[in-house]
Amino acid sequence: MLVNGRHYRTVWMENGKVKMIDQPLLPHRFEIAEMKNHTETTEAIKTMIVRGAGAIGATAGFGMAQAFLNAPENGFDDYVKKAVETLRSTRPTAQNLFYAIDRVLAAAKKESSVKAKRKVAVSEAQRIADEDAESCKRIGEIGEKLLKDSCNISTHCNAGWLAFVDWGTALSPIYAAKRSGKKIFVYVDETRPRCQGARMTAWELLQEGIPHAVIADNATGHYMKAGKMDIVIVGADRIAANGDVANKIGTYSSAVLAKENGIAFYVAALTSTIDLKCESGDKIPIEERGQEEVTHMFGRTEDGKHGKVRIMPEGSQVFNPAFDVTPAKYITGIITEKGIVKANREEINNLFKS
């Protein structure tokens, strides 16, 4: 997508170097970080210079390609093996990380010469990144049909291109609608406690020139009742086999409010987010995150540095669930790269038959 009028992906490979948007600096500074070798790329994943399922997967793939490129002919396999180990240990719950590592390994395994292994590792890593971007773009083309001209869209958290290689999921139909000439307006939930809406989604929309306003999460219901929102599109962290959706805390509230006010509520996600082995939403564990996300607020201080302020008294307890589960009954449909399905077992199963 566009940044300062130029097209960027979140992560890409160039002459053996992995380049990526330095995400912790956003939205206050836009810089490209450059990782010379797989060790630096591994560190970038670990320190979350890159974040988001699709973007992490692509970065891991490129990191693997770097390992193959830099491995000495003498001790080649050992070097790669060690690289795999450190790369795997960066974000132990990121499924796309393991998927990308294994795919590059499997592709290289088919070749016998070091030269051929290097070549295929690079091309396979590139393919992983391209596939992510292509699938997200498809979600945009498919989801765009749901957006009428002059419609007002509500979104929660950041399921934009920064979390993937390009396009994103929930924001992809918005980018597609803009390109097809539709007039649209986006209400961006700031998404406390980490404010990914105010930080990431607002920045993405600003760069793409899409009219939007950031609102406190508390104001979403008010605008729904006032008839100001026509459709809600959010992303998903995990979709159960029955259509229940785990996503950023506050998604459930948005879904209930949408239903109460007769507003369509869509989830946009790659089919890889669907976990058929997970029967229903109540089987999805909800991560409880650190207290500091609630007790403090992070941002740019008055002297232009990254800093924080404490917003509540010392001594008060904090609960900080990172996700909630939206039962399938509140969901109008799930937009995937293979089409839009209802949030039920049968239609979800059909996505995997072909």
Active site residues: 237
Q: Is 180 in the site for its own copies (CB under 8 A)?
A: no
Nearer to its own copies, 135 or 207 (CB): 207
How far, in whole angstroms, is CA 64 from its chain's centroid?
21
d(CA 250, CA 325): 9
Binding flag, residue 92, its own copies (CB under 8 A): no
- Taking the least distance from each CB to its own copies, the nearer of 71 and 174 is 174
DSSP, collapsed to helix, strand or coil, labels residue 255 as helix
CA distance 102 to 108: 10
Angle between helices 38-46 and 76-88 (to 10 degrees): 10
Cβ proximity to its own copies, 182 vs 192, nearer residue: 192
Residue 294 Cβ, how far from its own copies at the closest point, in Å?
A: 6
Question: Which one of the spans 117-125, 127-135, 168-176, 222-230 is the region binding its own copies (CB under 8 A)?
Answer: 222-230
Rounded to a whole number of angstroms, the minimum distance from the CB of residue 232 to its own copies is 14
What are the phi and psi torsion angles at 325 (to 5°)? -115, 125
Asked whether position 195 contacts its own copies by CB under 8 A, the answer is yes
Q: Which of 191, 273, 332, 336 binds its own copies (CB under 8 A)?
A: 191
Q: How far apart, in whole angstroms, are the C-alpha atoms of residue 102 and residue 111?
A: 15
**In sequence order, what are the beta bridge partners of 325?**
246
- Least Cβ distance, residue 26 to its own copies (angstroms): 8
In the bound state with its own copies, the residue whose beta carbon lies nearer, of 147 and 229, is 229
Nearer to its own copies, 151 or 351 (CB): 151
* Spatial distance between the Cα atoms of 297 and 307, rounded to a whole number of angstroms: 8
Task: Between 82 and 296, name the residue whose CB sits nearer to its own copies.
Answer: 296
Q: Specify the stretch interacting with its own copies by CB under 8 A; choose among 67-75, 111-119, 172-180, 215-223.
A: 215-223
**CA 136 to CA 183: how far, in whole Å?**
21
Residue 133 to residue 127: CA distance in whole angstroms: 10
Instruction: With beta carbons less than 8 A apart as the criterion, state whether 205 and 188 touch.
Output: yes
Phi, psi of 7 (to 5 degrees): -80, 135
Choosing from 223, 242, 283, 342, the residue that interacts with its own copies (CB under 8 A) is: 223
Per-residue mark of binding to its own copies, 311-330 (x: CB under 8 A) = xxx-xxxxxxx--xx-----
Q: Two tokens at 230? A: 């026509």
178 is a contact residue toward its own copies (CB under 8 A): no
Site for its own copies in 18-37 (CB under 8 A): 27-28
CA–CA dist 242, 320 (Å, integer): 26
Beta strands in 156-217 (DSSP E): 184-189, 212-215
Given the rule CB under 8 A, which residues bind its own copies?
A: 27-28, 187-188, 190-193, 195, 198-199, 202-203, 205-206, 211-223, 225, 248-250, 252-253, 256-257, 260, 286, 294-302, 307-313, 315-321, 324-325
